[in-house]
Every structure is written in structure tokens, then in C-alpha cells.
Structure 1
Amino acid sequence: MHAYWSKKAHEAIEQYIEHYTQPGDLVLDQFCGSGGTALSALSLGRKAIAIDRSPAATFISNGFCSSTDLPKLNEEYARLMQKVSSPISELYNSNCHICGSKAIIHYQVYSMTFQCLKCLRKTPLARCTPVDNSSNAYYCPYCGDIIKTSQEKTGYQLIET
């Protein structure tokens, strides 16, 4: 599923389609975006035409509304993984930070760091508590002073793996 700037909730689209059309009717969406209206129409037993001026939109819409042979996709994925896992596995190897044994990296989380202007400690923003939901101000976890995201960044820090 691809994010699209004007994506609408499928439930709302389905209500309109059910109210104004019957199964088998044709639904035309002249500004299809990611294809939500076409997908809703197809799932409700209607036919759909989805067009858009944007080539990206029609590409996304086509992928969104096309069916996939999942067993074949899984088979091809397994075949590909078998072929490439050995050459690329070294890229994801590390040592466990707890026991020191070999481990595979599944994900890493980095956070921007800022220097508190009061205590001068550099801290990852992800470790700070927001002042409120609407501002870009955070409490320093060391001294409680305010750190603002408009301040100069001091870098990035790995905070979770």
C-alpha cells in the first residue's frame, strides 16, 4: 500500500458507491490518485475505470487494484532470498550488545541529537519529553531545561537496535 497525499478512507468511498450504484455498474474516477475509489468499486462488485493526469498516480492505482498470485510471489521471494542471502548476510551481522555473540541486525533507530544550552549535555531528541503536543520544544532529560528543535543539531545517535 502506497501513501498518497489525498488518500480517502475506503469506508467513506464504499458508502457512496453502495448508495449511488448497483453491483455490475461502472464507476469512473477521473482523478484516481492511488486508486482508492477503483479498489472500493471492485471490492463491491462494480467495474471501474481509473484515470489521472499523473503517470505516478495511474502506476500506483494499477498496482493497488491488481491481483497477485501470493503462492507464486512467496515462492519467488524464497528463491531470491536463497540466492542472495549468503552474499549480503555479512552486511546485517553484528555482535549482541548484551551477550557478545553473533547477531543479525533487524532494525536500527537513530535520533537527532541536540545540546542542552543549560547543562551542555548532548542528548538524542527521542529520549526527551515534549513540552506539549503542538510545539517543537522538549525537556532535557538531565536538567529539565527546554531544548528546541530550532537549535543547531549536534548529530545523530543510535538509540535502539
Structure 2
Amino acid sequence: GENIDLPVNSPMTLYKNNLPFLFLNTSECIGNKIISEELIDDDIIVEDNIVQIKEGEPKITFEDALQPKEHIEVRTRYDHISRKINIENKLNNPINLDLDFKQTKDIMFVSSQPEPSEIEEPNHIYQINIPPESNAKVTLELQAKIVTRVTKIKPEYVKKLKQ
């Protein structure tokens, strides 16, 4: 897959025995796979995938640039992102984990499967109990605000240059 720009810093932390042991962050993306830091004990395997991105329609506005002949084209769009976290327990005993997803000004929580165990804005916390040699999934539906800025010469000056 091609690289897709995702807003950075939509932090998720996985807690085991109240200690954070994995940080999932959308800041590093290769195609549609998120690179989660491999800080995991071998007993627990976490896969964090972006399964779908629906790009929103960009709204275009203009801001003044430093040069009077230029302006900044600002494109803002809201993408819908489906993110699936799969956690596998390789141990012979059950484990209890807390997954803490924190929304930011650029990444908004829309819905999830299952529902969060508790919500303390901006955090959405999932208490996950995984039986031995089983796995659990959390699917997050998120809205990401993507803003790009391009400095362009104002159209009225472009015409003058062509003459």
C-alpha cells in the first residue's frame, strides 16, 4: 500500500498490571500498518492495523502569505479511519489489560467495538480480559482532521507573468 499521511500523536497505551507496556501511536506509518514499538513480552502479541481510510472532501480556504503576491491555500478535510487492534494472549493463564485511547484535537473518537469500559474525556478506556491462548479485538472508528497548506501565487499575478 502507499503511504498515507495520518495526523501524528493519537496516543494509545496498553496497560498490564497498571503499568504501561505498549504505546501505539499513529505517528509512524508504513502504508496502512502502524508500527507499534516492539516492547512487548513474547506472551502478548499486539497487532495494530488501519483497515480503512475514507478521505473526506477538502474544504479550501485562503490565508494571507508574507509576500503580497502570494496567498496560502489551506485544505482541510476530515477522514474516517477504521483501526483494528488485535491482542493475542499466548500465556496459560488469563490476562487483564487496559487499553487507553486518548483523543486529540486532530483525532476524534467516533465509535468502537466493543464500547469503552469508561470514558474520561479525552480518554477512552477498554478493560480487556483475555482467556489463555485466546485473542481480543478492539475496533476504533475515528475521525482525523488533515490540514495541508500550500503557498501559491495569487491568480491575478499569474496572468501578468504570462504576458
TM-score (norm 2): 0.21
Question: Which of the pair has the greater relative contact order for Cα pairs under 8 Å at 6+ separation?
Answer: 2
Q: Counting helix residues as a fraction of each chain, which structure ranks higher?
A: 1
Answer 1 or 2: which has greater strand percent: 2
